[in-house]
Amino acid sequence: MLTPFQGTNNQTLFQYTEFFLSFSSVKKGCSSANQGKTRMIFFNKCSYNKNWISATFLVWHPCDVDFSPGKKEAKEKMRFGHHLGPVGAIRARDFQLRDPMGGWITESGRDEAFRSFQFMGAVAKDMAIGCAITKTHHAMSAFAYAWFKREFIQIRLGSRVGDTAVFADDPDSGRTELKTDRGAVVMESDGNEKHLIVNSESLEIELTFSEDSTETLRLCTPAGPAGWSYVQKVVAVDAMGSFTAAGVKTRLKDFAALAHHDYTTGFLRAETWWHWACVVGRLPDNRTLGLNVSCGTNESGYRENGCWLKGKWFALGGALFEFDHENIESDWRIYGTDGDFELIFSAGHGYHANGISPKMSSNFHQLFGNFNGWICIDAEKFIVKAQPGFTESQYMLW
């Protein structure tokens, strides 16, 4: 019950004492076997000012969940670090998520906290294509673009009731698809073979690439006080296929284009701000060179930062980003905290999205252009000259 007492400045404040009552309504998610069993409501907290009073309650309900220490520890244990081989399906529903204060989150709360996205793209000199699909508990969205001969075409899709919206739980097997009345985006994985299809009135993309000749980055890290993130990436692999923009079809092999793939999933931070850079190029001797560095994503004990030289992956240290937030398509400086790389990025163009909604707010900028500078790989310094790639800055609240 609430007990008023006199506070300073003649304010009426409220004390609270713990109380409980029983009821027999069935909480969503409980099994039918528990219907009619006693639930307990505990008063938790009261907030007050001169205009309003609010109170929160904690509900205990005997659902069919085994909270015994042995089984609970087995459910929540994650294998953090780098994984050398395919991890299989990401079984998020086998994980019991804690809240920041150490308690257990309900199954519906856990499902709402799970988020995923994929990006597939390919670049060459003065050319870029890209496509991303994002999945939350509430909705699915996608964007795709093509930039060629200084012309830029983009599409944006959002799921509605009745649309096809599925996200593969295995980064190496399955189909991720968003199909609407305005267009469709499909990402398919069959082992090391990856495939992207974009169909719309203004833009079509068909991108195929293989990971047979490259090492794949697979990394699981803690995220926030109780979550985790799994990321899987390849950079600088041969891109095959084509894109059609404004009725003109362009073959990727005519430009020796190289591809990049990012599969990220997990209980990601609900509010995050990250920067990312990705070099996708070839050295003068025709060896492929890929670089993936970020700040604000996966630095909680492990890093995703590294580079690929002819498909072999080498770890890099931390990354710092300097750019003009008021003129984000001006030059960026990206350099290593361990002195292992120094790059200047010059944008050719960019995809920009900014929006606020109750379910997701984002300030997103993905640029494509050229890198110049150097990277130190295995004690050897490599000069980077006009190598294509991407940069990104994103604030996300979801």
Question: How many residues comprise the chain?
Answer: 398
CA 89 – CA 240 distance, rounded (Å) = 27
Among 47-51, 164-168, 236-240, 265-269, the minimum mean pLDDT is found in 47-51
At 300, is the pLDDT very low, low, confident or very high (cuts 50, 70, 90)? confident
A 10 A CB-CB count for 125 gives 13
- What average pLDDT score do residues 371-385 get? 96
For residue range 144-156, list pLDDT tens digits in order. 999 999 999 999 9
Exposure of 259 in the CB half-sphere (CA atoms within 13 A): 27
- Does the pTM exceed 0.85? no
For residue range 183-192, list pLDDT tens digits in order. 999 999 999 9
**Residue 183 token pair:** 């267009």
CB-CB contact of 208 with 241 (8 Å) = yes
Q: Tokens 């000069």 label which residue?
A: 383
Average pLDDT over the chain reads 84
pLDDT at 2: 28
Domains detected in the chain: 2-60 (no CATH), 81-397 (2.40.370.10)
pLDDT at 333: 98
The candidate with the shortest Cα–Cα distance to 41, out of 21, 62, 66, is 21
CB-CB contact of 163 with 109 (8 Å) = no
pLDDT at 58: 42
Residue 68, CA distances (Å) to 28, 44, 73, 87, 359 in order: 22, 24, 9, 27, 34
CB-CB contact of 174 with 166 (8 Å) = no
pLDDT at 355: 87
